[in-house]
Amino acid sequence: MRWLFVFFLALTGVPAWCEGIVEVLARSQQQRLEASPEADPQAPASRTIRRTFDTLLRRAGPLPPVELRVVSGAALAETLHGRVIVVNQSLADLTEGERLFILAHELGHVMLGHWPQMTGVYQAWVPGEVLRPQTDAVAPQLGREASAMAHRHELEADTFGLRALRELGHSPRDAVSAFMAMGVRSDSATHPGTRKRLASLRAAEAALTGAE
């Protein structure tokens, strides 16, 4: 059960005086955003990534507010505040299709409204001021529900990425090689392991092929 609690703390951090859960979550996301220095937007890697992102946006249709930030830091790609897609400049080293899949996955999180859904779960379990004794009491249940939702969101974002690959004329194999480039991982609190994600992708690919 410990990892659920760790998951809860990782997302919320330590609350300041008299804060609601939405403020705590927003502050925690802001800290993550500020943790990675932004890369030079004119650097070749940044331009390569932005070009792929623009290709994606042109095909995406009406968009909610979304921003791309290329950074030099640890995470390869993540979405913060539900609208800021943060990617490592090393994304430029991947093939166009791999990069497209990873960016489309993140855009999927934005377009499918995953962050507001996740915030809603936290609000339901922590409705008032964030006080440590109360949050400790609900952390296991909250952690379980948030983790299950996070896993579902990852698979939905993968399917979104797969659709984008197909629409832009790339092979679904690019999604598989993107996973291989990231390295095989087991389940975490926030992400299903690589094996589950590949199985889900295969099912999504079969469904999309069958629908044609």
CA distance 62 to 65: 10
- Please report how close the Cβ of residue 135 comes to Zn ion at its closest, in angstroms: 25
Closer CB to Zn ion, 19 or 187, in the complex: 187
List binders of Zn ion among 139-168 (CB under 5 A): 154, 157
- Please report how close the Cβ of residue 33 comes to Zn ion at its closest, in angstroms: 16
Binding flag, residue 100, Zn ion (CB under 5 A): no
Closer CB to Zn ion, 152 or 173, in the complex: 152
Pairing of strands 77-80, 84-88: antiparallel
Phi, psi of 102 (to 5 degrees): -65, -40
- Please report how close the Cβ of residue 91 comes to Zn ion at its closest, in angstroms: 14
Q: Where does the chain have alpha helices with state H?
A: 2-12, 21-35, 44-60, 96-111, 114-125, 132-167, 173-182, 194-211
Give, in order, the Cα–Cα distances in Å from 80 to each of 30, 87, 157, 176, 186: 8, 11, 15, 24, 23
Closer CB to Zn ion, 87 or 157, in the complex: 157
Binding-residue total with Zn ion (CB under 5 A): 2
- Please report how close the Cβ of residue 41 comes to Zn ion at its closest, in angstroms: 24
CA distance 106 to 102: 7
Closer CB to Zn ion, 98 or 154, in the complex: 154
Pairing of strands 67-71, 77-80: unpaired
Closer CB to Zn ion, 116 or 169, in the complex: 116
Binding site for Zn ion (CB under 5 A): 154, 157
